[in-house]
Structure 1
Amino acid sequence: MAQQCFTPRLFTHRTIALNYSYTREATPGPKISDWVTTFDTFQTHALKTRLGIPLLIAVDAVHGQNTFEGATIFPHNIGMGATRNYDLIRRAAEITAIETAGTGFNWTFSPVIAMPEHEHWGRVYEGFSEDANVTTKALIASIQGHQGTNLGQRHTIAATAKHYLGDGATTGGKEGGNAIISEQALKDRYLPPYQAAVDEGIASIMVGFNSVNGTNMHQHQHLVQDVLKGQLGFDGVVVTDWLGGTRWGEPFTVINAGIDIAMQPSNHDEFMAKLKATVIDGTVSMKRINDAVTRILGLKLDLGLFKDPFVKKEFSALVGSTVHREVARQAVRESLVLLKSEANALPLKSTDKIAVVGEHANNSGLQSGGWSIHWQGQKHGYASATTILDGIHGFVPDAQYQPMGCTADMQASKVIAVVGELPYAEFMGDSTNLNLTQTQRNMITRCKTFGKQVIVVLISGRAMTVTDTIKQSDAFIAAWLPGSEGAGVADFLFGANGFTPVGKLPTSWPNLYEDLPLAQDAENALYPFGFGLNKY
């Protein structure tokens, strides 16, 4: 806002703090101690400035502290929504807060509470559900986990509800597109989750790249100033999205719209100079500046930064701990949705002759999706993660792994085919192709040709048009994007310790591409919202 911003680029994830101007490219694989030293140095410098105001330091920890290689990475929100286990969602957010604090951050740009209406959108997996009720319950649980009973607790961090407003409702599912929303729909569907966030004490709210009825949210004074801060009574901090302070116009338009913090990592000097000029000439009132500064300082006070701004080092040793990973493993197995199970294909037994095919089976990067170590995710594995194949080998050590598919001499009678999308995030994930690749489809067909029972595990950030593959399979599982604990998928496949499926679809599942976008109660859906077999 009226203070300088700095934005260290850690693994290309967005990080923002106030009062300091600094840009840093981190080399891959830093230790926690490196992060602790860096952020404590930032705070030390901040305290030596004229006013001695400590820093807010934020990160996109959207499914665990997913920027740190070695942290516990949970299923993306679409999977967490599929669990319908709101206590588990709260616990996952609490663990995320602990591991985020332990790596030096005090603010996360999470949770996303979009209610995706188009499978084409590249951010479907960041939303809990297309359903407002599920979204609101998950949102409340997430806020409680991140923020605890108050922000002054040692294990809590500030959370951010995003992206205000209608980001999941743009025409055609285009990231940053235009959402056409009637006043009635605004009242009935889109505002209630944000009202719930405000009532729950959410610390910050991020506006979206999208427009509503033709006006970009970064410029939307009515929806930000009048509705969010006025009607909904939000007294926290409103923040732009990445470079949002200049992307759609001059800085004064954003600040006058009611936004308090501008995330300007590469042009903050230009932003501040232009903003200062418009304050001097009266285009931006001091009342607006004072409102923003009051909110920012209030958040810092609530977080206890004026008493102790430094990294909570006692949590560093808990990052990626066994206890945390067990919770993530539980989240994985509860997030999986069984769409089909026939011919006693499941549960698998340790005595079964099993083969595993598909490159997604043995690659933690592919199974985690975007916002995992890097902004767009990665196509190779990362440290301290368990792949799906690792988990299967825990039950059947001699299970064959043939990533390219079945062969005539394969002895296995049951084949687990792990297939799906490659990682993506934001606009890079916008797509009109919701099919498996031809190579993946051919692989499954070939396994069936050899007379194998085929259990398909789909790794994806959204429902896909895979009707023919579902018909071919003996069992079909929507596994979403499990994160670092692939062994949870194996727990599901083998019914470990008496486990039975509990996951329910967070969105309707399409039969044909031409049917998209599906309404939540669409009669032509292959599987309706809430579907999920509860026994094998």
Structure 2
Amino acid sequence: MGFVMLLSCQNSIAKIHDPAIVIERKVDSLLGLMTLEEKIGQMTQVRHFYDIKKGDVVTKFIGSVIHTNGPLPGEDALGWQARFVELQKEALSTRLGIPLLIGVDAVHGQNTFPGATIFPHNIGLGASRNMSLVKQAAQVTAIEAQATGFNWVFSPCIAIPYNEKWGRVYEAFSEDTGLTQEMTLVSISGHQGQLADKTTVLATAKHFIGDGATDDGIEGGNTTLTNQEISARLLPPYRIAVASGVGSVMASFNTLMDKPMHAHKALITDTLKTKMGFEGIVLTDWKGYSRYGRNEIINAGIDMVMAVDGDLDVFQKGLKTGVETGFVSIERINDAVKRVLRQKYRLGLFENPLPDSTLVSKIGSAPHRTIAKQLVRESLVLLKNENNALPIDKNSKIVVVGEHANNSGLQSGGWTISWQGETKNYIGATTILDGLKKESQAEIIYDVKGTGTHFDADVALIVVGEQPYAEFFGDINDTTNFELTLSEAHQNYISTYADAGVKTVVVLISGRPLVITEPLEQADAFIAAWLPGSEGDGIAEVLYGDYNFMGKLPHSWPKSVDDYKGLYGPNFWDDSIEPLFEYGYGLKY
């Protein structure tokens, strides 16, 4: 009997010191001290510019700030930190001293900061299949985010794209649910690590749910999948994310069977929170409160609102009125605030709310860029290699054609430095041409627009692709400027040299598979390079044979524009559509 009592006593002591139980007790204690206004403040997220003026963090009890497209916080990393320290100190000066969550869309590295390490977009990570490197990329992103003042990132995107017309295909890892699950696990582990450590950040699984499966690939459109299809194809990565302890989930812009996801209680509360056991924060996307039902989204299970572009007072006053009139229960408010406070305690913000200035030296450091360059090498997918076109002999005379060959902005895509990306070089990056010049032992001619007739070259390296885009700007439909095929100019780059009999190697820079059936036939070799980010010279190393091709297609590749007709095309789960290249295809030397 004494032995049993001893075990019981030891178990009780263990529970008292269990970190999760300690955090819950702190959360309950703090919640009990809060006014309704303070609770609503914790549910509020604003930009550090435009949405607030000095002192608003104190008077409106703001719980979170974000940096997005707009004025930079400072001239350098210490300046960025200083801006967020200023806001953090305002939060700490309030009656209860609750620190801020400070978020950023760091979706392929800390991509808002010039000079940071920019990784291949997720579609390239999916092509690499290298789980260890993907985890390391997330760890680097966390360090460089913390080094610029952030403790929360809105990454990873774990959507399953149905349709290459969707403008966010490159933000997702793959069309394959299983591969996306594996990538989700390592990405969240890399971002969050031991959360109280100053080199980790809160991660966000997004967008919940169906954002990549909208009819005709329209960003924010309607998703008409059945509950069974959602459960089998779209929910598994979220189950992995929740099991991994992901700190937040962002709601999606799309509707599901014509109901806005932000207001979908059956999926947000009943499925994500109750059935799956998610204990973190459910966050809106941009202006989610005013766009999708106001207090209805709170009742559906939204915990924090991006109160941006004029939504701050609308949200705070509207929610207070909703509580006072009984439309929103105080229990729902308390649940939301507990979720926010829980993550702040998990991050250790109450003990260490300010960023670590010693991390600044790690931004864009050689070890970080080494990881990014290896991911570039392993993400490249060799689609064709005939006539001994590859690897290129380092003594070969090469003519390089195309603006994408010497432009780090074009090679990196959207969400790079600015929201819609850059069309010029940015600090710290290398281009494909940089790499070629570094590796070559012979003459390299750069004919940016393909206007020359350098037919005496041994090899014509033609670099073509898409212009940068993000979100709905990248959708392919009657209202946007993007196409499913290469531009006429880029097709001409290829034809000029292929028709002249010059050995022609094509590198495609794109955020999604494009219809390239004819250019593929013209070229001797063809590489899908996706959006490689800041380490473009890694591509040259593979072209010269210093490294072999490792990448495998994360998406099936369409054969023709006709494959895209209909609501879901190209949907390669449908056996009626035959791809040009199947999922998983990729050649080696």
Q: TM-score range by the shorter chain?
A: over 0.9
Matches within 5 A, 1:271-282: 271-282=315-326
TM-score calculated relative to the size of structure 1: 0.95
Assess if the C-alpha contact under 8 Å between 1:29 and 1:69 holds in 2.
no
Counterpart CA distance in 1 for 2:64 and 2:273 is 27
Counterpart CA distance in 1 for 2:336 and 2:74 is 36
Select the residue among 288, 299, 303 that pairs with 1:260: 303
Matches within 5 A, 1:167-206: 167-206=211-250
Cα distance, 1:444 vs. partner?
A: 0.9
Cα distance, 1:519 vs. partner?
A: 3.2
Assess if the C-alpha contact under 8 Å between 2:156 and 2:205 holds in 1.
yes
Aligned counterpart, 2:381? 337
Question: Secondary structure of the residue that 2:331 maps to in structure 1?
Answer: helix
Question: Segments of 4+ in structure 1 off by > 6 A?
Answer: 20-24
Aligned counterpart, 2:45? 5
Cα distance, 1:306 vs. partner?
A: 0.2
Select the residue among 524, 527, 531 that pairs with 1:474: 524
Do the aligned partners of residues 378 and 409 (structure 1) sit closer, same or farther apart at CA in structure 2, a change above 3 Å counting? closer
Select the residue among 276, 285, 293 that pairs with 1:241: 285
Cα distance, 1:294 vs. partner?
A: 0.4
Counterpart CA distance in 1 for 2:366 and 2:437 is 19
Q: Deviations over 1:197-246 (max 9, x none)?
A: 10011000001000111111011011101111011110110000011111
How much identity, in percent, do the aligned residues show?
49
CA RMSD of aligned residues (A): 1.8
Assess if the C-alpha contact under 8 Å between 2:158 and 2:205 holds in 1.
yes
Matches within 5 A, 1:280-359: 280-359=324-403
Deviates more, 1:436-445 or 1:29-38: 29-38
Assess if the C-alpha contact under 8 Å between 2:64 and 2:101 holds in 1.
no
Question: Secondary structure of the residue that 1:34 maps to in structure 2?
Answer: helix
Aligned counterpart, 2:83? 38
Assess if the C-alpha contact under 8 Å between 2:131 and 2:182 holds in 1.
yes
Aligned counterpart, 1:534? 588
Aligned counterpart, 2:185? 140
Assess if the C-alpha contact under 8 Å between 2:211 and 2:253 holds in 1.
yes
Matched, 1:111 2:163: no
Matched, 1:126 2:171: yes
Matched, 1:455 2:529: no
Question: Secondary structure of the residue that 1:57 maps to in structure 2?
Answer: strand
Deviates more, 1:395-404 or 1:368-377: 395-404
Select the residue among 506, 512, 520 that pairs with 2:554: 506
Q: Deviations over 1:226-284 (max 9, x none)?
A: 1110111101100000111111222x111111010000122212210111111111111
Counterpart CA distance in 2 for 1:193 and 1:23 is 27
Aligned counterpart, 1:412? 457
Matched, 1:230 2:274: yes
Matched, 1:524 2:578: yes
Q: Counterpart amino acid of 1:119?
A: E
Deviates more, 1:416-425 or 1:394-403: 394-403
Assess if the C-alpha contact under 8 Å between 1:386 and 1:484 holds in 2.
yes
Question: Secondary structure of the residue that 1:287 maps to in structure 2?
Answer: helix
Cα distance, 1:19 vs. partner?
A: 3.2
Question: Secondary structure of the residue that 2:282 maps to in structure 1?
Answer: strand
Do the aligned partners of residues 532 and 22 (structure 1) sit closer, same or farther apart at CA in structure 2, a change above 3 Å counting? closer
Cα distance, 1:442 vs. partner?
A: 1.1
Runs of 5+ unmatched residues, structure 2: 1-38, 51-56, 478-482
Q: Counterpart amino acid of 1:142?
A: S
Cα distance, 1:182 vs. partner?
A: 1.0
Counterpart CA distance in 1 for 2:519 and 2:399 is 18
Question: Secondary structure of the residue that 1:195 maps to in structure 2?
Answer: helix
Assess if the C-alpha contact under 8 Å between 1:23 and 1:265 holds in 2.
no
Higher-Rg structure is 2
Deviates more, 1:128-137 or 1:35-44: 35-44
Counterpart CA distance in 1 for 2:113 and 2:199 is 18
Question: Secondary structure of the residue that 2:235 maps to in structure 1?
Answer: helix
Matches within 5 A, 1:83-98: 83-98=128-143
Cα distance, 1:345 vs. partner?
A: 0.4
Cα distance, 1:64 vs. partner?
A: 0.2
Cα distance, 1:22 vs. partner?
A: 9.9
Q: Deviations over 1:315-369 (max 9, x none)?
A: 1110000110011000001001000000000001210111110000000000000
Matches within 5 A, 1:350-369: 350-369=394-413
Cα distance, 1:407 vs. partner?
A: 2.8
Do the aligned partners of residues 409 and 418 (structure 1) sit closer, same or farther apart at CA in structure 2, a change above 3 Å counting? closer
Matched, 1:484 2:538: no
Assess if the C-alpha contact under 8 Å between 2:455 and 2:497 holds in 1.
no
Aligned counterpart, 1:13? none
Do the aligned partners of residues 361 and 279 (structure 1) sit closer, same or farther apart at CA in structure 2, a change above 3 Å counting? same
Counterpart CA distance in 2 for 1:472 and 1:49 is 67
Runs of 5+ unmatched residues, structure 1: 11-15
TM-score calculated relative to the size of structure 2: 0.87
Q: Deviations over 1:52-86 (max 9, x none)?
A: 11000000000000000000000000000000101
Counterpart CA distance in 2 for 1:381 and 1:28 is 21
Q: Deviations over 1:387-436 (max 9, x none)?
A: 11101111126311010116334431201100000000000000142111
Assess if the C-alpha contact under 8 Å between 1:18 and 1:57 holds in 2.
no
Cα distance, 1:23 vs. partner?
A: 9.4
Q: Counterpart amino acid of 2:166?
A: W
Q: Counterpart amino acid of 2:562?
A: E
Matched, 1:63 2:117: no
Counterpart CA distance in 2 for 1:318 and 1:131 is 34
Matches within 5 A, 1:21-32: 25-27=70-72, 30-32=75-77
Assess if the C-alpha contact under 8 Å between 2:62 and 2:91 holds in 1.
no
Aligned counterpart, 1:440? 490
Cα distance, 1:29 vs. partner?
A: 7.7
Counterpart CA distance in 2 for 1:145 and 1:23 is 22
Assess if the C-alpha contact under 8 Å between 1:118 and 1:168 holds in 2.
yes
Assess if the C-alpha contact under 8 Å between 1:109 and 1:160 holds in 2.
yes
Cα distance, 1:379 vs. partner?
A: 1.0
Counterpart CA distance in 2 for 1:300 and 1:376 is 31
Aligned length: 526
Question: Secondary structure of the residue that 1:186 maps to in structure 2?
Answer: helix
Question: Secondary structure of the residue that 2:587 maps to in structure 1?
Answer: coil
